[in-house]
């Protein structure tokens, strides 16, 4: 792809980068190739070849694995002649029974409802397209897919399952069930399906607006609005209070509304929640009638002292380093935008991209608590229950994800000026 400021006519098919607003002329991408933004390096388009058949097959296989994962036993634990068998949603059910409904709802949505909805929504779009039919409500369904994608955390749940098994090895004998292996396949299939999904299957390449506009390398410089749903470029009409895309009817805006206030509010909220999340215990392990509470740092130290230091380091990174680093990076990006800094624009854009990417991995501890609460229910022998710290930490995870999504990375380049 070439930048659009190198062309002199407006009849070519062009698109704007979602992360920096730079215009690019769309050219044919060979199978297996991809196009990156020449300014910020973000992915513009990717051609994996035969996208429709591949994505459809992957989602059908994922749906089949969903059924298997929720039909057969997931994990079994044997201790002192007693056995406890769980299904995929046992952790959620246990949290509800222990009066931790809010925590259970979060685990249910991120580990089952949203991933299943994502798969079904993709099938709703792809099956009619395979038959040459455009499904009704296509834009609405695609917006739902984009909105729930950051909340589909099956890969994080898989890591939590492995950590839970490692933590229980010194307590009992763990036997994986059929659903456990179906779940591993499900994680791989849903990741491959999402990576293969291409919005160009829904909408063709767009052309530049034919109305007279200003010149410039970005959409905002030419007074165009870029639709984040279907990538259509339309002239900005100042006389319309709430413009919508003429093709997919999505709300249009040059930049995210009230982004500064919303992002700062979420950053401050997450920082305040982080304090009790690390001070209060997140779970209590009761063995033979005696309870032992554990904080996040206490759980990490237990893993390291037990010789499982690789898992301890993973939990350390996911539960402490990532949340703190994410808050510091978002605060730094906010301040740099407010100060209109031109310092290392591409590096700051890359920093934001990685911050948004790893944010969901902080859910490891929440999933771990749900898994242990569902698996370890042996009455007087041993039980595991969540504590207040888990609820505060869940709040940290949710607010930091919302904070990252409320930040508009295009502001980094707006402050840098068009010459950058």
Region class of 132: left (phi > 0), else alpha (psi between -120 and 50), else beta: left
pLDDT for residue 240: 65
Q: What is the mean pLDDT of the chain?
A: 84
Range with the poorest average pLDDT among 78-92, 132-146, 233-247, 285-299:
285-299
pLDDT in tens, 392-411: 999 999 999 999 999 999 99
pLDDT in tens, 29-61: 787 788 889 898 888 888 777 788 999 999 999
Using pLDDT thresholds of 50, 70 and 90, give the confidence band for residue 263. Answer: very high
Helices (H) and strands (E) in the chain, counts: 15, 13
pLDDT in tens, 313-350: 888 888 899 999 999 999 999 999 998 888 889 999 99
pLDDT for residue 11: 44
394-411 burial, b for 16+ CB within 10 Å, e for fewer?
bbbbbbbbbbbbbbbbbb
Is pLDDT larger for residue 257 or for residue 84? Answer: 257
pLDDT for residue 337: 92
Helices within 232-321 (DSSP H only) = 259-279, 296-305, 309-316
pLDDT for residue 213: 56
What phi and psi, each to the nearest 5 degrees, are found at residue 86? -125, 160
Using pLDDT thresholds of 50, 70 and 90, give the confidence band for residue 419. Answer: very low
Task: Classify 47 as helix, strand or coil.
Answer: strand
Sign of CA dihedral 286, 289, 292, 293: positive
What phi and psi, each to the nearest 5 degrees, are found at residue 274? -65, -25
The full DSSP string for 227-246 is -TTT--EEE--TT-SS-B-T
* Token couple for 119: 């798969």
Q: 303: closest CA among 293, 295, 311?
A: 311
pLDDT for residue 7: 39
Torsion angle (degrees, nearest 10) of CA 393, 397, 403, 404 = 150
pLDDT in tens, 150-185: 999 999 999 999 888 887 777 778 889 899 999 999
């Amino acid at each position: 792809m070439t930048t659009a400021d190198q062309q002199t006519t407006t009849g070519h098919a062009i698109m704007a980068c979602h992360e920096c607003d730079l215009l690019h002329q769309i050219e044919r991408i060979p199978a297996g190739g991809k196009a990156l933004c020449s300014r910020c390096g973000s992915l513009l388009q990717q051609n994996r070849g035969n996208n429709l058949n591949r994505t459809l097959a992957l989602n059908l296989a994922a749906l089949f694995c969903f059924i298997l994962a929720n039909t057969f036993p997931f994990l079994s634990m044997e201790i002192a002649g007693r056995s406890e068998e769980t299904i995929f949603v046992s952790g959620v059910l246990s949290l509800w029974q222990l009066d931790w409904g809010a925590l259970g709802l979060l685990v249910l949505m991120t580990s089952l409802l949203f991933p299943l909805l994502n798969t079904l929504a993709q099938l709703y779009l792809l099956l009619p397209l395979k038959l040459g039919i455009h499904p009704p409500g296509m834009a609405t369904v695609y917006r739902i897919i984009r909105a729930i994608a950051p909340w589909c955390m099956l890969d994080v749940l898989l890591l939590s399952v492995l950590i839970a098994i490692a933590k229980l090895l010194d307590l009992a004998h763990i036997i994986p069930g059929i659903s456990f292996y179906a779940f591993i396949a499900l994680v791989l299939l849903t990741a491959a399906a999402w990576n293969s999904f291409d919005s160009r299957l829904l909408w063709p390449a767009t052309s530049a607006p034919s109305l007279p506009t200003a010149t410039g390398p970005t959409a905002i410089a030419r007074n165009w609005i870029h639709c984040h749903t279907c990538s259509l470029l339309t002239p900005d009409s100042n006389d319309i209070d709430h413009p919508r895309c003429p093709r997919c009817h999505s709300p249009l805006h040059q930049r995210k509304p009230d982004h500064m206030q919303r992002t700062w509010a979420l950053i401050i909220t997450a920082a305040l929640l982080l304090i009790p999340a690390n001070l209060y215990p997140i779970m209590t392990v009761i063995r033979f009638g005696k309870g032992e509470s554990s904080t996040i740092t206490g759980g990490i130290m237990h893993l390291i002292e037990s010789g499982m230091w690789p898992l301890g380091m993973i939990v350390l990174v996911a539960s402490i380093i990532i949340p703190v680093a994410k808050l510091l990076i978002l605060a730094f990006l906010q301040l740099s935008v407010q100060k209109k800094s031109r310092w290392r624009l591409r590096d700051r854009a890359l920093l934001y991209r990685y911050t948004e990417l790893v944010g969901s991995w902080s859910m490891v501890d929440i999933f771990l608590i749900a898994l242990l609460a569902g698996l370890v229910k042996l009455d007087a022998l041993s039980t595991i229950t969540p504590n207040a710290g888990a609820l505060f930490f869940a709040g940290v995870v949710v607010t930091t994800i919302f904070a990252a999504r409320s930040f508009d990375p295009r502001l980094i380049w707006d402050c840098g000026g068009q010459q950058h």
